[in-house]
Amino acid sequence: MTARSQPLCPELETALYRLYRDFLDRAERKRRWSLRDDIPWGRCNRSLDPAVADVVESFLAVELYLPDYVQSAMAVWRPSRAFSWFYANWGYEESKHSLALGDWLLRAKMRTEEQMADLERRVLRHDWNMPHDDPVAMLAYAMVQELATGLNYRNLQRCAGGDPALAKLLGLLGVDEQTHHSFFLRAVRLFLEHDRPGTLRQVHRVLHNFAMPAIYELADGPRRVQAIKALGVFDDRLFFTGVYLPVLHALGVSRPELRRAG
Ligand SMILES: [Fe+2]
Ligand SMILES: [Fe+2]
């Protein structure tokens, strides 16, 4: 269980609150999308490669742990208005992701209602627990995980060429995840300004122990991870080139500096 964050110093809280307000303004102006109207549901392809549907189902499973993600983040960041309000909005956006993925599996006839109910039951059997015991590590984890998830969706989108509905929804989800990543990246930058060695220690821990959440907690997790690799959607090499190096670059941290911090 991650300890509740101490109240942040007023300067940091003010800067984070500004970041959140900016995030919300842009989301309202540019990024809102409708589950019903913005996805061409009539163009689902029922003969798409079933391997793609299996990976969609794995990503749906990850998104179904939403109650655990929100509950944990809210508990840790309760003393910060910036983060509490951010997570309220974040939860709304993430809730649409599982709906979109689940609706596609049903409409493309890749899964039945019974199979979907069974997946949900299996997911709910486990709680997701935060992989780090420190609030700043959790932020760094979110920064890394959102970028990795966005990359996963973009790479899966390349396999969805024959299905305009899936391609469109993965594009929408990818943009959301990229924007979530940018928020967390900016937040981590503020923590770096505030306490560089302490923040870098947490960034090091996260980058060197990263795994996509929740997939491994499913009974058939290893098979699902294998299927994601087989489609070229995500693996260790893609993590290194598409997440690890870009995160360090965006934070202005060299690999020797990170190593020293660890
Ligand atoms: Fe998501
Ligand atoms: Fe996200």
Question: What one-character-per-residue DSSP string does the chain give?
Answer: -PPPPPPPPHHHHHHHHHHHHHHHHHIIIII---TTTSS-GGG--TTS-HHHHHHHHHHHHHHTTHHHHHHHHHHHTTT-HHHHHHHHHHHHHHHHHHHHHHHHHHHTTSS-HHHHHHHHHHHHTS----S-SSHHHHHHHHHHHHHHHHHHHHHHHGGGTT-HHHHHHHHHHHHHHHHHHHHHHHHHHHHHHH-HHHHHHHHHHHHTT---TTGGGSTTHHHHHHHHHHTTS--HHHHIIIIIHHHHHHHT--HHHHHHH-
Q: What is the pLDDT of residue 216?
A: 65
User: Separation of 260 CA from ligand 2 center, angstroms?
Assistant: 30
Instruction: Using the predicted structure, report yes or no on whether residue 177 has a pLDDT greater than 90.
Output: yes
User: Separation of 63 CA from ligand 1 center, angstroms?
Assistant: 6
Q: What is the pLDDT of residue 214?
A: 62
pLDDT band at residue 189 under the 50/70/90 scheme? very high
Q: Minimum-distance ligand to the CA of 61? A: 1
Q: What percent of the chain has pLDDT over 70?
A: 98
pLDDT band at residue 109 under the 50/70/90 scheme? very high
User: Separation of 1 CA from ligand 1 center, angstroms?
Assistant: 23
pLDDT band at residue 1 under the 50/70/90 scheme? low
If one compares 3 and 226, the residue with the highest pLDDT of the two is: 226
Q: What is the pTM of this model?
A: 0.95
Nearest-10 Cα torsion for 114, 116, 118, 119: 170
Instruction: Using the predicted structure, report yes or no on whether residue 257 has a pLDDT greater than 90.
Output: yes
What average pLDDT does range 71-88 have in this prediction? Answer: 95
What average pLDDT does range 135-141 have in this prediction? Answer: 95
Q: What is the pLDDT of residue 12?
A: 96
Using CA atoms, how far apart are residues 73 and 146, in angstroms rounded to an integer? 14
If one compares 117 and 3, the residue with the highest pLDDT of the two is: 117
User: Separation of 143 CA from ligand 2 center, angstroms?
Assistant: 9
Q: What percent of the chain has pLDDT over 90?
A: 84
Instruction: Using the predicted structure, report yes or no on whether residue 262 has a pLDDT greater than 90.
Output: no
Q: Minimum-distance ligand to the CA of 95? A: 1
pLDDT band at residue 248 under the 50/70/90 scheme? very high
What is the CA angle 66-205-2, rounded to 5? 45
Among 82-86, 123-127, 145-149, which is the least confidently predicted range? 123-127
User: Separation of 36 CA from ligand 2 center, angstroms?
Assistant: 20
Q: Minimum-distance ligand to the CA of 96? A: 1
Instruction: Using the predicted structure, report yes or no on whether residue 213 has a pLDDT greater than 80.
Output: no
